[in-house]
């Protein structure tokens, strides 16, 4: 069975997006070699990417550009070449290279994808999808990067969770830029 990881950056107060839906606060100084190596290493891991509509549109507007290729060529190459799924009831098309548009029931479609042959999968951002799939027990690993910023309000990562989720910490890593990586498995 394929595994599904969720990779999400959050503020210190638990928001994955600010009150305007922005995530600029999550981007660090591009000269931070340790952080850049971590991000590039994660991108080299391969697999299939999953997005909700909002994150998909944001990613698709950046990664295929010459700016992305110049700023972070390793990650840009992987983001563009990896197979991608976008879950949306409103998109008519998903033109970013190697993307499949999924309109069916999120949990059913993800469970079906986990049963199929292929590489492991990762949700990038997409807070509402993470919350829905976490509640359904469909996520095998939570990779959370806590950024040293307090937003005060915004979109909470696990907004809508009805039942508590017991998680087990499996790894941590602190970076010079102040980010802290926390890896959890369902408990």
What does the block give as tokens for 32? Answer: 């931070």
Confidence of residue 29 (pLDDT cuts 50, 70, 90): low
pLDDT in the model for residue 95: 95
State pLDDT tens for residues 69-113. Answer: 998 888 899 899 999 999 999 999 999 999 999 998 999 999 999
Is residue 177, in this structure, part of any structural domain at all?
no
* Pairing mode of beta strands 121-124, 4-11: parallel
Is residue 116, in this structure, part of any structural domain at all?
yes
Backbone angles phi, psi at 121, to 5 degrees: -125, 155
Is residue 178, in this structure, part of any structural domain at all?
no
Is residue 90, in this structure, part of any structural domain at all?
yes
* 41: containing domain: 4-20+31-165
Number of domains observed in the structure of the chain: 1
State pLDDT tens for residues 117-137. Answer: 989 999 988 888 999 999 999
Chain-centroid distance of CA 161 in Å reads: 18
Q: How far apart are CA 6 and CA 94, in angstroms?
A: 21
CATH number at residue 84: 3.40.430.10
Is residue 121, in this structure, part of any structural domain at all?
yes
Is residue 70, in this structure, part of any structural domain at all?
yes
Is residue 127, in this structure, part of any structural domain at all?
yes
Helices 33-44 and 73-81: crossing angle, nearest 10°? 20
Is residue 156, in this structure, part of any structural domain at all?
yes
């Amino acid at each position: 069975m394929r595994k599904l990881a969720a990779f999400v950056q959050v503020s210190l107060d638990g928001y994955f997006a600010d009150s305007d839906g922005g995530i600029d606060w999550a981007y660090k100084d591009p000269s931070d070699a340790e952080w850049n190596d971590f991000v590039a290493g994660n991108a080299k891991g391969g697999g299939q990417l999953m997005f909700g509509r909002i994150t998909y549109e944001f990613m698709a507007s950046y990664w295929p550009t010459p700016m992305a290729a110049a700023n972070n060529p390793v990650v840009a190459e992987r983001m563009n070449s990896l197979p991608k799924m976008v879950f949306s009831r409103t998109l008519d098309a998903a033109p970013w290279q190697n993307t499949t548009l999924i309109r069916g029931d999120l949990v059913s479609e993800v469970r079906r994808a986990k049963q199929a042959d292929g590489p492991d999968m990762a949700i990038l951002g997409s807070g509402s999808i993470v919350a829905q799939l976490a509640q359904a027990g469909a996520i095998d690993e939570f990779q959370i990067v806590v950024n040293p910023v307090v937003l005060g309000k915004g979109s909470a990562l696990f907004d809508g969770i009805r039942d508590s989720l017991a998680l087990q910490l499996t790894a941590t890593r602190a970076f010079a830029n102040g980010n802290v990586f926390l890896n959890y498995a369902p408990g």
